[in-house]
A and B are shown apart, each in its own frame.
Chain A
Amino acid sequence: MAEVKRFDNRLGLWGWLGGGRWGIERYAYILHRLTGLGILAYFLMHIVVTSLRAKGIYLWAGEDAILAKPIFKVGEFLVFAAFAYHAFNGLRLVFVEMGFAVGKPIEPIYPYKTSLGVQRPLFIAMMILAAIFFFAGGAEFLGLVK
């Protein structure tokens, strides 16, 4: 098997975080990764913490509970916000991967047309749904709804 040629990661973090000329979808992709990493970090700890309930230990329940402190409550809301974005943007990615909402293939005749314009209404619709989730969760977090 041929040896894979490797290159230095010249761009470093900017290679991941910079959207360059790729537009809003590229930033959506970066945010998708960041929220995914955040949710995963929380989830791995969440498994351990919630497993303790099998031994009758509820670290999140009661006023004196460690995880009932405001900083953890804020953290929990951030995880909820990350979920709202990651879930709806992820649903968009599944649709696009399955070939929905990307338009029909056309011949590549100059000036070339991008399919991003065709996909954008789906992106906007998903972001509106994510925003509804975010604000509903925010209203509950701030105690505006009982």
Chain B
Amino acid sequence: MNETKYWTWFMAAGVVILVLLGLHMMIMHLGAFTHLFVVDKGVEATAVVNSQSRDANLFFTITYVLLLGTALFHGLYGLRTILFELTLKKSMEKALSVLFIVLGLGLFCLGTWAAFTAHANALKAPAPQAAVSEGR
């Protein structure tokens, strides 16, 4: 019964990831088409000035944490499902589950701390000079 519940959460997490990671990819890999959320269009979306401007935006801080949690669950549960198909012993299945929970929670704490610290740092930093490279 629990596995059915986890599988439903796994699918729901996939849909959330599709939206949030889709937005992330639109910014990072399709920026030449979308120009979404960049203060300096003359440099890449991954440039420090653009990265800091997103960190200063609470929308990104919250969605980063949401994406982090859903993606960790979706990814690690998916890997667990694949490994369990190897018909492992019960003790091994339990050990893997514990390992993935510890790994997932550890990385979630690290990423959440980083998102909020980067947000606080970006608010303290001087305002990014918009469109510097455009000569304005």
Tell me, yes or no, whether A97 is within 8 Å of chain B by CB.
Answer: yes
Stretch at the interface among A17-25, A54-62, A107-115: A54-62
Decide: A37 and B46 in contact? CB cutoff 8 A.
no
Q: Complex Cα distance A90/B48, Å?
A: 33
Is the pair B87, A58 in contact by a Cβ cutoff of 8 Å? no
- Known: A40-B79, A53-B55. Is A140-B30 also a contact (CB below 8 A)? yes
Query: Are A51 and B75 interface neighbours, CB within 8 A?
Result: no
A-contact bits for B13-39, CB 8 A (1 contact / 0 none)? 011011001100100011111000000
**What are 30 A-to-B residue pairs whose CB atoms are below 8 Å?**
A33-B82, A36-B78, A37-B82, A40-B78, A40-B79, A43-B71, A43-B75, A47-B110, A47-B111, A48-B110, A51-B110, A51-B111, A53-B51, A53-B118, A54-B113, A54-B114, A58-B48, A60-B46, A61-B46, A61-B48, A80-B29, A87-B18, A87-B22, A91-B18, A133-B30, A136-B30, A137-B29, A140-B30, A140-B33, A145-B32
Instruction: List chain A positions with a Cβ less than 8 A from chain B.
Output: 4, 6-7, 9, 33, 36-37, 39-40, 43-44, 47-48, 50-54, 56, 58, 60-62, 76-77, 80, 83, 87, 90-91, 94, 97, 133, 136-137, 139-141, 145-146
